[in-house]
Structure 1
Amino acid sequence: MNRQRHILHCDCNSFYASVEMQENPNLRGKRIAVCGSKEDRHGIVLTASYPAKHMGVKTGMAIWQAQQCCRDLIIVPPHYTEYMRYSGYVREILQDYSDQIEGFGLDESWVDVSGSTGLFGSPMTIAQEISDRVKRELGITVSIGVSNNKVTAKLGSDYKKPDAITRIEPDNYKEIVYPLPVQDLLYVGPATQKKLNSYAIRTIGQLAETDPKTLQRWFGKLGYTLSAFARGLDTSPVARQDHTATIKSVGNSGTTPRDLISDEDVWLMLLVMSESVAARMRELGMKCTVVEVSVRDCDLAGFVRQHKIDTPTNGALEIARVAFELFKSNYRWGKPLRGVGVRGAGLVPEDCAIQLGFFSNQEKREKLERIDKAVDTVRERYGYTCVQRARIYTDRGLGQINPKDDHTVHPVGFFNAG
């Protein structure tokens, strides 16, 4: 007999701004926006306080746009160490109620409390206690969704903000969820939303009532997933709290020091990012079987694409080449780009047995791997920039950054902006 699931989704309200106001009481109640550095081209709003949001300031806005909406806006630089510290504090509170906690960025977490109700009471009681403790112990607020699955729990935490708890179960699902805009559903990004809207599907209810076979024809396998999610069906588990859990991917992304206006610019940035991703995989003793590339243009529109590779790799050059081919196959120049990212997924141990293709050049691959590891050793001793690829020096503005240190960390809400 299957036990009924009780899932919470906890979302720290305006997290970066809330931490800044807690650390600096003079900012409390004021219109503030945490923004990246203008000089480093990260001059966009990462998050804003609720008084600023009420004036029209939105995540993802350029600083100058935000200041037009709110003349007395206070710009605050980000302090990521503090955000990570507070994120850890929130997680410590959640761990008192369950060992099944799955983070979603620094500011969001799913918690499976199915096995905790005998000790702590109903899911709503647990949610209220978590909310009260976060407010009392940390001075920030959370919105919590309570449901029987992860997707609907997240809809619940988004439904009412700030400092709220929303229960969404089968008995009230259609009443609450069906009128919501389709883009509120997990995995419905701008491109998917646009396509759904073109078929006159604008609400989650309309999506739920669309034939799954029709959605499959439009979106492939994703169509069935969207149909299930829209109908409140999700069986995915919440990851069990385990510091030795398998890492599934390694990635790096950031806002570029200047606009990217050519294939050559993109290749250089992908190479820089791939150096970081590959080095991290080697530190973990892993290789990737999937390479993913993401881009954002000057209007913050973009895409994510991935490709499964034949032979696992943790080589920077190989990862960069695959990412670049993905980019060229999917982007037509119209607007300058201001952000790129590379991710290695489908990780496997680097010493795992591999199936060699008839035409694979394993000897050359092994030689490049030895070179990469030698470079890692030198960089560890003398610093990242002591050894660089010659191509990096063709554009010091783009090439002379340390992607392992110098990139903007965005809250989850940033990627849902717009």
Structure 2
Amino acid sequence: MNENQFISALTIGPRVRKSPFFDATLAAGVKSFTVYNHMYLPTSYGDPLQEYWAMVEGVTLWDVSCERQIEVSGSDAIEFTQLLTPRDVASCPVGRCRYVVFTDHDGGVINDAIMLRLEETRFWLSPGDGDVLLWAQGVAARSGMDVKLTEPDVSPLQLQGPLAPKVARKLFGDVAVEMGYYHLHELELNGIPLVLSRTGWSGELGYEIYLRDGSRGTELWDLVMAAGEEFGIKPACPSAMRTIEGGILSYASDITREDTPFTIGMERLLDLNKSQEYIGKAALQQIAKEGTPRRLVGIEIDGDPISGNDRFWDVFENQDKVGHLTRCAWSPRLERNIGLVNLPTELAEAGTALKVQTLDDLRDGIVVALPWFKSITKIPDDL
């Protein structure tokens, strides 16, 4: 029997932080939470399939305050941010965002993040699950640089789905549909200070709305829901089904410290030979020369629908264990089980036949290229 069948509730207490939208999500009917970055993250409003279809056909609003921001400022802010990531962040103009990875001295991935450049020497880092602020403060303490690292009063919502631009334009005006992908704007809504960015974790059109006054969380939530009512907006949560379909990775599941950016297909985020020093530079340059021994790829799994996995599942070629499945789900659009598997590079080619040990049985699977659905980034001209 699955151990999750014995878990009926998550105890709520002061040790784990509530988001500014916590009360609003309760009023909206949230049914379950998990703990992410020491905060409560909504995981279901009762019907994940309904949330999925609302996300791919309509518009949804998510509380993702657990994306706890790290503000980097000071005269050495650019140099310090360059030290944290192999990507050349100096090439990012003010008012733009970049997707970045942070690596350790062996090239292992510390975390991935959206980086927002608000000013010449002021950045926000929006990471996945993990104590990135503590790590960065440790790096700063030994760097000798003039840099300040803080967690600002910033709490993001995600507005995601093909109708998200309609809601955003109703809230913020034409700037919401004229701004480019991975662009940001500082603005206000009814006097509430915000940052609006064309980013998200759904693979659909979308925005992140960064609240800059935690006392006004319910007010902001209600304003967005009211603006979206005519478009059928639904409260929702990050969707495993949709992110796996899009090859959108989750830190601590699909990405671990054992993986390098080459393992997880993020070579595009590496400016390996940038002149500035960065943590893991020698290791990553060596891997680039020698090749990566493992890769994360897609897999399709035979059989009845699988709702997900509560741990890594073993993957076999013939009778030899060769890797593990990180996440899986039933895809409603593909009408098949899909997942992500970490394999030796020589087995990561599309068409490779494997077996996956699920919770109940050993199933046939076949390697496929990622993603099943590409991310949608361009707002239609006639929206």
When the two structures are superposed, what TM-score results if normalisation uses the length of structure 1? 0.27
Specify the structure having the higher radius of gyration (Cα). 1
When the two structures are superposed, what TM-score results if normalisation uses the length of structure 2? 0.29
Which structure has more helix as a fraction of its residues?
1
